[in-house]
Amino acid sequence: MKRPPLARRRNIGIISHIDAGKTTTTERILFYSGAIHRIGEVDDGSATTDWMAQERERGISITAAAVTCPWKDHEITLIDTPGHVDFTIEVERSLRVLDGAVAIFSAVEGVEPQSETVWRQADRFQVPRIAYVNKLDRTGADFGRAVAMMREKLGARTVLLQFPDGEGDRYRGQVDVLTGEYLSWEEADEGRAVHRRPAGGELAGRARELREAAAEAAADFDEGLMEAFLEGKGIGAEDIRRGLRRGVLACQLVPVFCGSSLRNRGVQPLLDAVLDYLPSPLDVPPARGHRPPKEGEGDGEAPEAEERPPAGDAPFSALVFKVQMDEGRRLTYLRVYSGRLASGAPAYNTARRVSERAARLFHMYSHKRERIEEVGPGDIAAAAGFKYAATGDTLCDEKHPIAFEPIHAPHPVISIAVEARDSAGAKKLEEALQKLEAEDPTFRARRDPDTGQVVMSGMGELHLDVLTRRIGEEFGVEVRVGKPRVVYRETIQRPDEAEATYDRELAGKAQFARVKVRAAPAPGKGVSVGSRVRALEEGGTLPRKLLQA
């Protein structure tokens, strides 16, 4: 199948707080685009992007999964990211390589803590966003409150392009602000058809008010629109979309859409919005990096800046954003920024200063793989054969080296001790931990030199519980876990000196020595331990023998 040109491709992520409906929305996107023929559900463990056994069992996303689907002569590569704070690295490295994002908010809870976290991550990488207020059918849904929270907590300049007709049990459909159409769906056909008719009454009046506000926002980014707006001329829907798109690409505007993904309402207009407002690889600035120093060159000099445009005839460059162990083999996920890489061709790793060959290249569909012969600009793909590539490494043409900014992972915050249940599993445990470390930059494993324990460190209890179960299920090592032992070291409280002289005759010979010793407390504050209990001899209340015991 021939792929569309770069201008008709979108690389987007779905981001939100946990349980806002990311995976449910992703499943509907795949269904309505024809990528799948049956809707899977998170609750029964049949969602396409929740492919891990633990994801299906727990009903949450643990790892980011990439899928691709067609929509109106376009190709959309979508990454469904986890919403739990323990797996925030999955969002971090996904946003690093994506061109746009759909931020999903629950109409009941609005902006939640992890919503703020992923929003700030998108701000840091300058990722254009559109917003989708989900779960309008839920009791307690409040569309206006959710949008107000976006403005207050996130500082987003929102532009309402849809609003609901009713909320909770009274939610029936929604209004398209730019066209003035009333949109509705039927349960009988699983929401396949979007029914459109002119909105009437109060709904039409509100649509006209919001359309005026949308035109004003669009005019801020289009001089032609600004002139027409000030002169009171009519502005067409396509003109407004063009101005809004410019504001979105500048990360200044956030168009807001709504629906209920679980009830199959609102997803098709959201897909249209992805095409209308989010960027293609050609719409984002060229990838920026620097020329890595050659061997023998001084590291103190300022690095020479380099850029890579999204062109097939430019030198090859890509960023490794994820490493995954697939049936014991390393699978390296790449975002290609420029040039082309053929299966079996070499790529130079500027971080490791080594050249390796991409033995096989794959187009990923969740955990399934499709063999391809070449990758080019804008592609998100996977490669087998790279032994040394790690998350954040740059792969490029060795004759035209470039190093992109690496992906920075947060430090682990919690630790547990782990050990194999038998000696035969000790070696396998060590190998399993090494592979998990290669996959997850927020995971650390080390052997404590004082206690001899193997200590696992991660982002939270859920994170470590997931990894512990993977050690048993994927690597076949039965383990025991517990709290790390703490080694206490005693030290004196203040510096002191002592001197002693040895002067004695032994076997008719004089023996003489003088020793001077100075002791000081060990570094660090530590904890002082003392006793306020006095013995009877000192006028206290306890016998000395009991005090000594």
Strand 173-176 with 380-384, pairing = unpaired
Please count the other Cβ atoms lying within 10 Å of the Cβ belonging to residue 352: 16
pLDDT value, residue 4:
92
pLDDT (tens digit per residue) in 194-229: 999 999 999 999 999 999 999 999 999 998 888 887
How do residues 360-390 score in pLDDT, each as one tens digit?
Answer: 999 999 888 899 999 999 999 999 999 999 9
The answer to whether the beta carbons of residues 122 and 114 sit under 8 Å apart is no
Average pLDDT, integer, range 303-331: 91
- Residue 406 has φ and ψ, to the nearest 5°, of -70, 170
Picking from 45-54, 255-264, 271-280, 403-412, which range would have the lowest pLDDT averaged per residue? 45-54
Mean pLDDT, range 452-481, rounded to an integer: 91
Instruction: Name every residue whose Cβ is closer than 8 Å to that of residue 436 and which is 6 or more positions away in sequence.
Output: 325, 443, 445, 467, 470, 471
Residue 311 structure tokens: 């062109």
Residue 274: predicted pLDDT: 97
Q: Is 6-277 assigned to CATH 3.90.550.10?
A: no
Question: Counting Cβ atoms within 10 Å, is residue 175 exposed (0-12), middle (13-18) or buried (19+)?
Answer: buried
Please state, in angstroms and rounded to a whole number, the distance separating the CA atoms of residues 306 and 289: 5
Q: Calculate the CA 85 to chain-centre distance.
A: 10
DSSP states of 436-464: HHHH-TT-EEEE-TTT--EEEEESSHHHH
User: Across 54-95, where does the E strand assignment appear?
Assistant: 65-71, 74-80
- Going from N- to C-terminal start, the domains of the chain cover 6-277, 312-404, 414-482, 496-548
Q: 535 falls in which pLDDT band (50, 70, 90)? A: low
Q: Which of 59, 104, 64 is nearest to 80 (CA)?
A: 64
Mean pLDDT of 125-129: 96
Q: Could you tell me whether strands 368-372 and 346-349 are parallel, antiparallel, or unpaired per DSSP bridges?
A: unpaired
Under CATH, to which class is 414-482 assigned?
alpha beta
Alpha helices, H only, 476-532? none
Predicted confidence (pLDDT) at residue 257 exceeds the cutoff of 70:
yes
Note the pLDDT of residue 539. 60
- For the chain, the average pLDDT equals 90
What is the pLDDT confidence band of residue 538, given thresholds at 50, 70 and 90?
A: low
What's the rounded Cα separation, in Å, for the pair 286 and 157? 26
pLDDT of residue 462: 92
Measure the CA–CA gap between 129 and 499, rounded to whole angstroms: 74
DSSP state of 368: E
Q: Label residue 300 by pLDDT band (50, 70, 90).
A: low
Residue 28 corresponds to which tokens in the numbers above?
């509907």
Sequential DSSP letters for 39-60: ---TTTT--SS--SHHHHHHTS
Closest by Cα among 78, 65, 70 to 1? 70
> Which position has the token pair 């504050």?
525
Answer whether residue 263 shows pLDDT above 70: yes
DSSP one-letter code for 19: T
Tell me the C-alpha distance between 456 and 454, whole Å.
7
Mean pLDDT in residue range 324-334: 86
Q: Are the beta carbons of 67 and 73 closer than 8 angstroms? A: no
pLDDT bucket at 44, cuts 50 / 70 / 90: confident
Per-residue pLDDT for 104 more than 70?
Answer: yes
Backbone phi and psi for residue 7, each to the nearest 5 degrees, phi listed first = -60, -20
pLDDT, one tens digit per residue, over 151-163 is 999 999 999 999 9
Pick the CATH number of 312-404 from 2.120.10.30, 3.40.50.970, 2.40.30.10, 3.40.630.10: 2.40.30.10
Q: In residues, how long is the chain?
A: 549
Of the pLDDT bands very low, low, confident and very high (cuts 50, 70, 90), residue 533 is low
Instruction: Count CA atoms closer than 13 A to 112's CA, side-chain side.
Output: 18
Residues 163, 133 contacting (CB under 8 angstroms): no
| DSSP per position, 174-224 | EEETTTTEEEE--TTTTT-SPEEEE--HHHHHHHHHHHHHHHHHHHTT-HH
* pLDDT surpasses 90 at 122: yes
Q: Which residues contact 249 (CB under 8 A, 6 or more apart)?
A: 128, 279, 283
Q: What is the C-alpha to C-alpha distance for residues 74 and 146, in angstroms, rounded to an integer?
A: 31
- Cβ-based burial of 386 (10 A; exposed 0-12, middle 13-18, buried ≥19): buried
Give the pLDDT score at 543.
67
For the chain, percent of residues with pLDDT exceeding 70: 93
- The model's pTM: 0.85
